Structures are given as structure tokens and as C-alpha cells.
């Protein structure tokens, strides 16, 4: 998860962890595709409660900076991190920060990871611009995201979005994330298309900041 608006209380964070464990039956192979392929100096935006930590190939990770704006989610991520092996903990840093205002210098990371984050940020373009800024030239933004549908399904998405967004902590089902990434200067490769429900198409993609 990432930026406000979102419920900021411990009950939502606890419920998120429970929901994530249930959803991981479906999400586990997708997390492997996203987090499992990152290497070098890595940034994860909207790390939530740390659900991706188990999917990194830590032998390939020089350092992982994980950011999350919600303090209760971050607290759970810190608790999860304390259970990781010592050699992993020494490579992991957690920071409270929104995706739209990352506290890192330009060209700091070899890879950026996000799973179901850009669908929740308050300002999609700002979050993408920040990701582009902190990536090194040639670096990869690896992501799993809800995406906009087409045709009649797109109309249905627009109809249900106000209620869905309220129920799902500000999540947007219908953002054209691939187009936004291209407009920011990324070269986008869609690795896999998924469907989480009748109105919830999704994609696994790599967006490269070309040298």
C-alpha cells in the first residue's frame, strides 16, 4: 500500500495482514515475478506490512529500502522484519514516506518494486515521477497493479469505483498505469496479465528507465 487517503488505524493494518495471507494463494507466484527478480540496491514503495519480504532472493540484494506512509502498517512491517534472519535484517531499512515524496537522492537504486501500490496512491503521476527520479539509468521498476479495463467493462469499473474505492482504502480499479509510465519516460514491458475478479484486470510489468 502507499499514500493517503487510507484508514490510519491498527485495525485496518491487522485486517490487511489477514487478507494478505488469504490472497497470497493467488498472489504468491506474482510476488515471485516482481520482488523475486529484483537485485542490487532495491527500493520497495508502499511496502505495507512487509508481505513481499519473503519473496526477495536475498543473495541478490545488496540493500533493500522499504517505504510505507501509514504508521500502523509500518509497525507491522518492522515486526515482520525482526523475524527475518540476521543476514537479511542487516540489508533491510524501513522508512515512513509516501511514494510521491521519496527521501532518496536521484539515481539511487537498481530496481524499484511495487505490488498493488500505484492503484492506491493519491497522485499517480507524482509517484511515477519519483520512481523514475530515484532509479539509476537502466534500472527497472517491477510492479503488479490493477489496470483499467476496456469496452463495457471499463464503464462498469467507472460506475463501481466510488464505492469500491471507499471500501478498499482508496484503491482505483481503473487507472491506465501503463500509459502513465510511458508518458513519464519508461519503456514498459507487460510480462503477464491477470484477473482478480470480473472488474479487476491486473498486470505484472517491468518499466525500464533507459540509459
pLDDT in tens, 10-64: 544 554 554 555 456 678 999 999 999 999 999 999 999 999 999 999 999 999 9
pLDDT at 11: 46
pTM: 0.85
How far is 167 from 184, CA to CA, in rounded Å?
Answer: 30
Q: For residue 63, which of 49, 46, 47, 43 has the smallest C-alpha distance?
A: 43
The domains of the chain, with CATH numbers, are 10-208 (3.40.50.150)
pLDDT at 21: 54
**Has residue 77 got a pLDDT over 70?**
yes
**Has residue 194 got a pLDDT over 90?**
no
Q: For residue 177, which of 148, 140, 208 has the smallest C-alpha distance?
A: 148
In this prediction, residues 178-195 reach a mean pLDDT of 95
SS3 per residue for 114-171: EECCCCCCCCHHHHHHHHHHHEEEEEEEEEEEECCCCHHHHHHHHHHHHHHHHHCCCC
The winner for highest mean pLDDT among 78-87, 145-154, 189-198 is 78-87
Exposed/middle/buried for residue 193 (C-beta within 10 Å: 0-12, 13-18, 19+):
exposed
In this prediction, residues 71-99 reach a mean pLDDT of 96
How far is 98 from 176, CA to CA, in rounded Å?
Answer: 21
Beta bridge partners of 142: 113, 206
pLDDT at 196: 76
Other CB atoms within 10 Å distance of the CB of residue 180: 18
Amino acid at each position: 500500500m502507499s499514500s493517503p487517503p487510507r484508514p490510519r488505524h491498527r485495525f485496518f493494518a491487522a485486517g490487511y495482514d489477514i487478507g494478505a495471507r488469504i490472497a497470497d494463494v493467488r498472489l504468491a507466484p506474482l510476488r515471485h515475478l516482481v520482488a523475486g527478480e529484483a537485485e542490487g540496491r532495491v527500493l520497495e514503495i508502499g511496502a505495507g506490512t512487509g508481505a513481499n519480504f519473503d519473496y526477495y532472493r536475498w543473495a541478490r540484494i545488496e540493500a533493500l529500502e522499504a517505504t510505507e506512509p501509514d504508521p500502523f502498517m509500518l509497525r507491522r512491517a518492522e515486526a515482520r522484519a525482526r523475524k527475518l534472519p540476521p543476514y537479511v535484517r542487516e540489508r533491510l531499512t524501513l522508512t515512513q514516506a509516501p511514494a510521491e515524496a521519496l527521501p532518496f537522492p536521484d539515481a539511487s537504486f537498481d530496481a524499484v518494486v511495487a505490488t498493488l501500490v500505484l492503484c492506491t496512491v493519491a497522485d499517480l503521476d507524482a509517484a511515477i515521477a519519483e520512481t523514475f527520479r530515484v532509479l539509476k539509468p537502466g534500472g527497472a521498476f517491477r510492479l503488479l497493479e490493477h489496470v483499467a479495463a476496456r469496452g463495457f467493462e471499463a464503464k462498469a469499473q467507472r460506475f463501481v469505483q466510488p464505492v469500491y474505492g471507499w471500501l478498499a482504502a482508496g484503491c482505483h480499479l481503473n487507472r491506465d498505469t501503463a500509459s502513465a509510465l510511458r508518458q513519464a519516460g519508461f519503456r514498459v514491458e507487460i510480462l503477464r496479465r491477470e484477473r482478480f475478479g470480473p472488474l479487476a484486470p491486473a498486470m505484472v510489468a517491468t518499466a525500464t528507465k533507459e540509459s
